[in-house]
Amino acid sequence: MARKFRGEGHLKVDSKGRVSIPAGFRRVVEKGDPDWTSGQRPNLIIVYGLDAQRQLDCYTIEAMDEIETRIARMQPGSIERKMAERVFHGRAMDAQIDEDGRIVLPKALRDKIGLDSEAFFIAAGDHFEIWKPETYAATEAARAEAWMAEQDADFDIRTLLPALDGGG
């Protein structure tokens, strides 16, 4: 089983669009790049998606291979397959982590999500997301807090997880 991304962090973005990737995230990217060896630069895929997408989704090479396999199983010519191909192939770019643990986010991508001097990173299991901190706080964090406020005081989020054996 592939390693998963965990954690979050705020990191500075310099004037050239360089931003450090959290160290734990870098280890997962390395493990998820079948061509990576010690001393080499690990590769990842940044999906910037359709215009309404407010974050950058970053996948390991292995995670993207899995997505591409799943897309290939979709009905050829279907609108669903075309949309998946547009997002994961057409609205994505290859990236490489440099020797200092940074990636370069092109100006067009920074502009798309309104990123300036700071980026917020959050793990999402098979990928991690890069957000403008204020956008994340106003949308995703606020949504999560509102949802949690609707739950009973003794709510345990583990109750949402399906059983591994298909049973109860």
pLDDT higher than threshold 90 for residue 1? no
How many whole angstroms separate alpha carbon 115 and alpha carbon 137? 14
Say if 166 falls within a structural domain.
no
Q: At residue 39, does pLDDT exceed 90? A: no
State the chain's mean pLDDT as an integer. Answer: 93
What is the Cα–Cα distance from 73 to 62, expressed in whole angstroms?
17
Q: Does residue 165 lie in a domain region?
A: no
Assigned domain for 145 exists: no
Indicate whether 141 belongs to any domain: no
Q: Which residues contact 95 (CB under 8 A, 6 or more apart)?
A: 43, 44, 45, 46, 58, 103, 104
Work out the pLDDT band at 102, boundaries 50, 70, 90: very high
| End-to-end C-alpha distance for the chain, whole angstroms | 24
pLDDT band at 141, cuts 50/70/90?
A: confident
In angstroms, the CA 142 to CA 136 distance is 8
Tens-place pLDDT, residues 50-81: 989 999 999 999 999 999 999 999 999 999 99
**Number of domains making up the chain:** 1
- Is 121 domain-assigned? yes
Range of the domain at 13: 8-134
Whether 144 maps to a domain, the answer reads no
The tens digit of pLDDT for each residue in 129-140 reads 999 999 999 998
Is residue 79 one of the residues assigned to a domain? yes
Q: What is the CATH number of the domain that holds 53?
A: 3.40.1550.20
CA-based nearest residue to 53, from 110, 113, 10: 113
pTM of the full structure: 0.90
Query: Which pLDDT belongs to residue 54?
Result: 95
Each residue's pLDDT tens digit, 5-29: 999 999 999 999 999 999 999 999 9
**Residue 144 pLDDT > 50, yes or no?**
yes
In a domain, 96, yes or no: yes
Instruction: Give the mean model confidence (pLDDT) for residues 139-144.
Output: 87
